[in-house]
Amino acid sequence: MTPQNNSLGIWLMIVTAFVFAMQDGLSRHLAGEYNVLMIIMIRYWFFASFVIVVAARRAGGLRAAVATKQPVLQIFRGVLLAIEVCVMVSAFVILGLVESHAVFAVYPLLVAALSGPVLGEFVGWRRWVAIAIGFVGVLIILRPGGGVFQPAALIPLLAALMFALYGLLTRYAARQDSAAVSFFWTGVSGAAAMTVIGIWFWEPMASTDWIWMALLCATAAFSHFLLIRAYELAEASAVQPFAYLQLPFAAALGVLVFGEAIRTNVILGAAVVVGAGVFTLWRARVVNAS
């Protein structure tokens, strides 16, 4: 068993958030030049290869990784995540990194809101208040009725909903399958689904962009490795709040590299959403400890 080290786990989560932000920047660049489905398909080919190698090196090898007790659920999880990635990368291209991440930051609140109906968990009134405040933050970002509202701003909100559902289904799957089994099925089923869809949208890629594609695949695998290590070393409740650092990292990349602007309402709304999200994480930790 890996010894617990919350300090190291937190630092790993900070690095993970940075690598995820760089990964999002690469996705934004490539998806702006080529079809989103093709880019995600190639990324998933590498991801599937990565999870197969990881599974083969673990005790029991591939046979143990394949041995799920709930194949339909595991396949659905993998396909759902693949579709969520496509939706979120589309949001990067349409809205940019800043606004997409500002809205997507609501996903922990969606996890808290849906944990009752999906997992049967109790959500107290304090967390419900935090969830409501968080959605006020989303409204501040979106500014419906403000004359500048874009329906496309709902795209990252859809991605957040899908990612929250994926997270809850992962917790549900953990009741019968190990994390290694879920990780294997996430990569393999996602790659299979993306291949069936994405292969029809193949287009030639410039040699220089293949370098960016290789870097995207490498950062995707590295970020997942870091995330796994962070959760192995530290309690999830201790490191999860630091995942929010992906928002300022991605925002900085959007401004410095892609020339995006940060509007005042986006800063204010994102602060409200993140504050409410951190509070729900803290309350969950308090409830679990009691």
CA 90 to each of CA 149, 160, 188: distance values in angstroms, whole numbers, following the listed order: 18, 13, 22
pLDDT tens-digit map of 16-47: 889 999 999 999 999 999 999 999 999 999 99
* pLDDT higher than threshold 90 for residue 202: yes
Report if residue 39 sits inside a domain. Answer: yes
Q: What is the predicted pLDDT for the residue at 147?
A: 44
Query: So what's the pLDDT on residue 235?
Result: 67
pLDDT digits (tens, 9 = 90+) for 57-93: 888 888 888 989 899 999 999 999 999 999 999 999 9
**Is the pLDDT at 290 greater than 70, yes or no?**
no
* DSSP structural state of residue 245: G
What is the secondary structure of 13-26 as a DSSP string? HHHHHHHHHHHHHH
Q: Which domain holds residue 144?
A: 6-289
Distance of alpha carbon 225 from alpha carbon 223, whole angstroms: 5
Helices of type H across 143-206 = 154-173, 179-198
Please list, in sequence order, all residues whose beta carbon lies within 8 angstroms of the beta carbon of residue 1, skipping any fewer than 6 positions away: none
Q: Is residue 75 part of a domain?
A: yes
Reported confidence tier of residue 145, pLDDT bands at 50, 70, 90: low
Domain count, the chain: 1
Q: Is residue 71 part of a domain?
A: yes
In a domain, 212, yes or no: yes
Asked whether residue 279 is domain-assigned, the answer is yes
Residue 1 maps to a domain: no
10 closest CA partner among 289, 223, 240, 198: 240
Proportion of the chain above pLDDT 70, given as a percent: 91
Does this model's pTM top 0.85? My answer is: yes
Q: pLDDT tens digit string along 245-262?
A: 888 899 999 999 999 888
Confidence of residue 210 (pLDDT cuts 50, 70, 90): very high
Residue 245, domain member (yes or no): yes
The crossing angle, in degrees rounded to 10, of helices 179-198 and 71-95 is 60
